[in-house]
Chain A
């Protein structure tokens, strides 16, 4: 028995390769991709920074003009994506469910669009405060 029949069948079919970036790769909606904190819910408890296995989360002070009632300490988490292993421990340990999860896997783009603090601070502006 040999592979001849199999090879002849495959000669008349299209190639199996997904021609990225002309074609999008088919990915699940709940794939573990980029995550960032929603500052309307975060209360600055720093649990995510303590529990991160690869020490990728750093707590920074909010900008000067922003005062939030539910965040008395004024800290918000900033994730360093090159160190992050996307285990989602920060997402599951947060006591107020403040993390937004996406299925974005293309992390090699222009840096300004994908920095964690840009994404987190944008959540404040859309509420108009």
Chain B
């Protein structure tokens, strides 16, 4: 921890080879779309570049895009020395949504991953702590319904 970190480095330069596309979210926050198998590598590189106490995951937001047959998962990351928020976006097929977990690198995703699994049904590989019924009441989980999907009826 005693190495001097260059904490002003531009975030896209750290993960340049993994970025598939760049977009924007108002007001002027940059979105980097990456492949879903590379998410662990991207987060590990960002933590190594900025240091453990200068970066945290602010929100994990899942979106059900039923017309495109996809689910999008957005990781909003707040980079403290640069005072900005960047977004990492992955796209997962809607039929069997599975992605790797980040809980051994950043334990703080426990709350976000539990809520996304309970409400949208995205499975996180390697996370043994999440279970159904964390937020959703029992009579809805007994029917096997994920309430926030666009075609959920109960």
Q: Do chains A and B touch in the complex (CB under 8 A)?
A: no
Q: Which residues from chain B sit less than 8 Å from chain A, CB to CB?
A: none
- Please give the residue numbers on chain A whose beta carbons come within 8 Å of chain B beta carbons, in ascending order: none
